[in-house]
């Protein structure tokens, strides 16, 4: 039997991503010899122990990272610098530190200075998630056929990057390497701005008192229903995302505003040709997502399987 990719993996923070990583690692027994876990909340640690999350749930971050070959920061991006500073003296020489945050430039600036000599820092970002959070929300299949972007800091040797790539591929993900600033721009387009728009749209519906709360809930069509799913995402995580990826998000929001004004003008002036051409172009993007295997042409829109009666 071949040696595992990592002898010991430490998960710091035990929410959706960390939980899913653990179950995915256990699904493929060749990835880690032992997985330790730590969460700041005593209640979260108790839940993790109850559901069997991690081989060992630790009551201190020091215990969790001791002897770890890989340390994964699964906390909100705004907290990563403080966590990195706390664990820095405890890290094993030759270990790798990575993260799962949705912003990369800020994480590099806040975490990087605390990484000691002889420890490798390889920021990462699995492009997978749901609107749910907490240790009980994870599942082994979360990363299957999804992308994980790795953003190695300058000077990182090839071997630690290849090892981390093997872990993510072993958990079912596709892996690509990307520059941190380009990563933040791409995610501003594909994730951050859409989330902000979803939060805004749901907030607008709440403000339209001519539409009662019961009508908003009862008559939610696919568009608004999907907005509410996105807008139900973890508020702490998304607060930190927007505060740490300001420039790229504001750039894409500016572009969005220009497009919105053009659509307003087309609607106001009755320019059906403009609207039809615009919607045709955006429809093609949806087809591309399906062809890339990142969704199906028959999504369930949260309905799930309907039980037969």
Residue 38 confidence (pLDDT) above 60: yes
Any residues with CB less than 8 A from the CB of 301 and at least 6 apart, and which? 222, 225, 226
Domain(s) of CATH 1.10.3660.10: residues in the chain: 182-291
**pLDDT value at position 48?**
97
In 3D space, the residue among 123, 250, 147, 126 whose CA is nearest the CA of residue 189 turns out to be 250
% of the chain with per-residue pLDDT over 90: 61
From the CA atom positions of the chain, what is the Rg in Å? 21
Domain 182-291 classified CATH 3.40.50.1370? no
Residue 306 confidence (pLDDT) above 60: no
196 versus 116: the higher-pLDDT residue is 116
Q: What are the tens digits of pLDDT across the range 207-265?
A: 665 555 566 656 655 667 677 777 777 788 888 888 888 898 888 889 888 988 998 99
Q: How far apart are the first and last CA of the chain?
A: 48
Q: What are the tens digits of pLDDT across the range 70-111?
A: 999 999 999 999 999 999 999 999 999 999 999 999 999 999
252 versus 295: the higher-pLDDT residue is 252
92 versus 303: the higher-pLDDT residue is 92
In 3D space, the residue among 39, 64, 61, 66 whose CA is nearest the CA of residue 50 turns out to be 39
**pLDDT value at position 66?**
97
Any residues with CB less than 8 A from the CB of 263 and at least 6 apart, and which? 275, 278
Six-digit token string for 243? 């505060």
Class of domain 6-178: alpha beta
Domain(s) of CATH 3.40.50.720: residues in the chain: 6-178
Q: Which parts of the chain are beta strand (E)? A: 6-12, 32-38, 56-57, 70-73, 96-99, 120-121, 124-126, 147-150, 174-177
Contact 51, 26 (CB under 8 A): no
Contact 44, 61 (CB under 8 A): no
């Amino acid at each position: 039997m071949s040696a595992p990719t990592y002898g010991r993996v430490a998960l710091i923070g035990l929410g959706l991503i960390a939980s899913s990583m653990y179950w995915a690692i256990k699904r493929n027994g060749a990835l880690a010899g032992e997985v330790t876990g730590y969460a700041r909340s005593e209640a979260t640690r108790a839940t993790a122990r109850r559901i069997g999350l991690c081989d060992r749930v630790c009551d201190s971050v020091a215990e969790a990272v001791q002897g770890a070959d890989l340390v994964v920061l699964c906390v909100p991006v705004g907290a990563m610098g403080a966590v990195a500073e706390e664990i820095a003296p405890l890290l094993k020489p030759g270990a790798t530190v990575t993260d799962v945050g949705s912003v990369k430039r800020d994480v590099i600036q806040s975490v990087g200075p605390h990484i000691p000599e002889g420890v490798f820092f390889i920021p990462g970002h699995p492009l997978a998630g749901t609107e749910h959070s907490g240790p009980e929300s994870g599942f082994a299949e979360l990363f299957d056929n999804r992308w994980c972007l790795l953003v190695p800091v300058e000077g990182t040797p090839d071997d630690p990057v290849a090892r981390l790539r093997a872990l993510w591929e072993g958990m079912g993900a596709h892996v690509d390497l990307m520059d941190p600033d380009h990563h933040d721009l791409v995610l501003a387009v594909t994730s951050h701005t859409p989330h902000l728009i979803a939060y805004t749209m749901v907030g607008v519906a709440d403000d339209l008192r001519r539409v009662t709360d019961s009508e908003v809930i009862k008559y939610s069509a696919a568009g608004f229903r999907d907005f509410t799913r996105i807008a139900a995402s973890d508020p702490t995580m998304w607060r930190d995302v927007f505060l740490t990826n300001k420039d790229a998000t504001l750039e894409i929001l500016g572009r969005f505003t220009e497009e919105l004004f053009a659509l307003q003008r087309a609607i106001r002036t009755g320019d059906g040709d403009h609207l039809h051409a615009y919607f045709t172009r955006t429809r093609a993007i949806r087809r591309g997502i399906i062809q890339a295997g990142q969704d199906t042409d028959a999504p369930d829109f949260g309905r799930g399987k309907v039980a037969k009666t």
